[in-house]
Chain A
Amino acid sequence: MKRRAIDPFVILCIVALLLTFLLMGRVLLVIVFRGIGALPAHLASRQTLFALGLSVKSASISSVFCFILAVPTAYTLARVHLPLRGAVEAVLELTMSLPYIVLGLSLLILFSSPAGKTLSAAGFPVVFDQNGIIIAQLVVNLPFAIKLVTTAFQGVDRKLETVAGLLGASTGMQFFSILLPLSRNTLISAFVLIWSRALGEFGATLMLVGVTRMKTETLPGNIYLNVSTNDIDSALASAFLLLVLSTVSLAVSAWVTRNDRRQSRYA
Chain B
Amino acid sequence: MHEPLISVDGLTLRRGQFLLDHVSLSVAEQEIFAIIGKTGSGKTVLLESMAGFHRPDSGHVLYSGIPIHTIPVNRRNIGYLYQEYCLFPHMTARQNIGYGLKLHHIKGQQANERIESLARRFEITTVMEQHPGTLSGGEQQRVALARALITQPKLLLLDEPFSALDPVTKERLYDIILDIRTGFGCSIVFVTHNFKEAGLADRVGVLLGGKLRGIVSGRELMCASWDEDVKDFLGILD
Contacts and interface: CB of A to CB of B under 8 A. Distances in A.
A168 B53 contact: no
Interface string A139-179: 00000000000000000010110111111111001000110
B135 to A, nearest CB: 7
B86 A170 contact: no
A182 interface: yes
B236 to A, nearest CB: 36
A3 interface: no
A192 to B, nearest CB: 21
Contacts of A159: 82, 84, 86
A4 interface: no
A106 to B, nearest CB: 41
Contacts of A169: 74, 99, 103
A168 B74 contact: yes
B104 interface: yes
A177 B103 CA distance: 11
A184 to B, nearest CB: 8
A178 B88 contact: yes
Nearest to B84: A159
B2 interface: no
Query: Interface SS of chain A: helix, strand, loop or mixed?
Result: helix
Nearest to B100: A167
A264 interface: yes
B188 interface: no
Most buried by A among B89, B100, B135: B89
Interface string B20-60: 00000000000000000000000000000001010000000
Given A163-B80, A165-B74, A166-B73, A262 B131 contact: yes
Nearest to B82: A159
Contacts of A170: 74
B103 A167 contact: yes
A167 B76 CA distance: 9
A196 to B, nearest CB: 27
A227 B230 CA distance: 81
A93 B131 CA distance: 39
Given A167-B99, A169-B103, A265 B86 contact: no
B53 A264 contact: no
B147 interface: yes
Given A162-B53, A182-B89, A264 B80 contact: no
A166 B103 contact: no
B117 interface: no
B78 A166 contact: yes
B205 interface: no
B133 A265 contact: yes
B135 A263 contact: no
A50 to B, nearest CB: 43
Contact of A168 (B90, B103, B135): B103
B86 A168 contact: no
A160 B88 contact: yes
Contact of A162 (B80, B104, B135): B80
A216 B134 CA distance: 53
A264 B99 contact: no
Given A262-B131, A265-B133, A168 B100 contact: yes
B210 interface: no
A168 B104 contact: yes
A124 to B, nearest CB: 40
Contact of B82 (A163, A177, A264, A265): A163
B161 interface: no
B206 to A, nearest CB: 27
A168 B151 contact: yes
Nearest to A178: B88
A173 B151 CA distance: 17
Interface in B192-213: none
Given A163-B82, A164-B88, A263-B90, 5 more contacts: A160-B86, A166-B51, A169-B74, A170-B74, A262-B131
Name the 9 nearest CB pairs between A and B, nearest first: A167-B100, A168-B103, A165-B73, A263-B133, A263-B131, A159-B86, A265-B134, A264-B133, A168-B74
Interface of A: 157, 159-160, 162-170, 173, 177-178, 181-182, 262-265
5 contacts: A166-B80, A167-B100, A167-B103, A262-B131, A265-B134
